Amino acid sequence: MASTSDFRTGLVLILDGELFAIAEFQHVKMARGGAFVRTKLKNFKTGRVIERTFRSGEKVDEARIVRRRMQFLYREGEQLVVMDNETYDQVHIAADMLGTGIDFLKESENIDVLTHNDNPVGAEMPTFVVLTVASTAPGLRGDTVSGATKKAKLETGGSINVPLFVEEGDRLKVDTRTGEYIERVKE
């Protein structure tokens, strides 16, 4: 059990049988009346954000989330097969747990799988990955007016906008949260 004084961003609570992570919270003390905590909670399963108010000192169930480093092996339909790096157990997780980061996931990449009671409830990509450009149009000379970009298809099948000087076979550092090009990586 956690009290409202234990609230912090990222704390996972069990409300109405579902898991919610605290996205934002604010302690409020009115001149007349009791203090309360105003929160924004993100549902682990649906991703929907709700607002909820708790009385000061109110107790809520805290979920114990375990973060496990796992290696992505292969895709099986809408499921990803991952292997626990410590026990070598293979687990199936839903591909949509990674959100848009799935476009930048390649085989043998390590991801963090969040589990509650040994059941996967979420997954997180590394913030940055290095991927090879599979195909892109050639950059044209003189077409360099203030940060011009072009589309590039990566080895994982995902597409991003890159500067004109990027060519096929280049290795790029990509931000998996936003899908943006960061820099070209030298071998």
Tens of pLDDT, residue by residue over 45-54, are 888 899 999 9
Q: Do residues 70 and 111 lie in contact, with contact meaning Cβ atoms separated by under 8 Å? A: yes
List, in order, residues 6 or more apart from 117 with CB less than 8 Å away.
Answer: none
Residue 23 structure tokens:
């996205």
Q: Do residues 128 and 141 lie in contact, with contact meaning Cβ atoms separated by under 8 Å? A: no
Tell me, what's the pLDDT at 144? 58
pLDDT tens by residue, 129-182: 999 999 998 876 665 566 778 899 999 989 999 988 888 999 999 999 888 999
Task: Provide the pLDDT confidence category of residue 30 given band limits of 50, 70 and 90.
Answer: confident
Q: Looking at residues 110-125, what average pLDDT do you find?
A: 88
Q: Do residues 67 and 88 lie in contact, with contact meaning Cβ atoms separated by under 8 Å? A: no
Tell me, what's the pLDDT at 173? 94
Q: Do residues 87 and 70 lie in contact, with contact meaning Cβ atoms separated by under 8 Å? A: no
Q: Do residues 39 and 22 lie in contact, with contact meaning Cβ atoms separated by under 8 Å? A: yes
Average pLDDT, the chain: 88
- Percent of the chain exceeding pLDDT 90 equals 40
Q: Do residues 75 and 83 lie in contact, with contact meaning Cβ atoms separated by under 8 Å? A: no
- State yes or no: pLDDT of 55 exceeds 60: yes
Rounded-to-integer distance, Cα 64 and Cα 75, Å: 28
- State yes or no: pLDDT of 185 exceeds 80: yes
Residue 94 structure tokens:
């839903």
Distances (CA, A) of 66 to 43, 62, 63, 72, 117: 17, 13, 10, 18, 9
Tell me, what's the pLDDT at 146? 64
Q: Looking at residues 1-7, what average pLDDT do you find?
A: 86
pTM (2 d.p.): 0.74
List, in order, residues 6 or more apart from 14 with CB less than 8 Å away.
Answer: 20, 60, 61, 62, 63
Integer-rounded Cα radius of gyration of the chain: 21
Tell me the domains of the chain and their CATH numbers: 2-62 (2.30.30.30), 66-124 (2.40.50.140), 128-185 (2.40.50.140)
- Please give the backbone phi and psi of residue 6, each rounded to the nearest 5 degrees, phi first: -90, -5
DSSP state of 109: -
pLDDT tens by residue, 65-91: 898 999 999 999 889 999 999 999 999
Tell me, what's the pLDDT at 25? 92
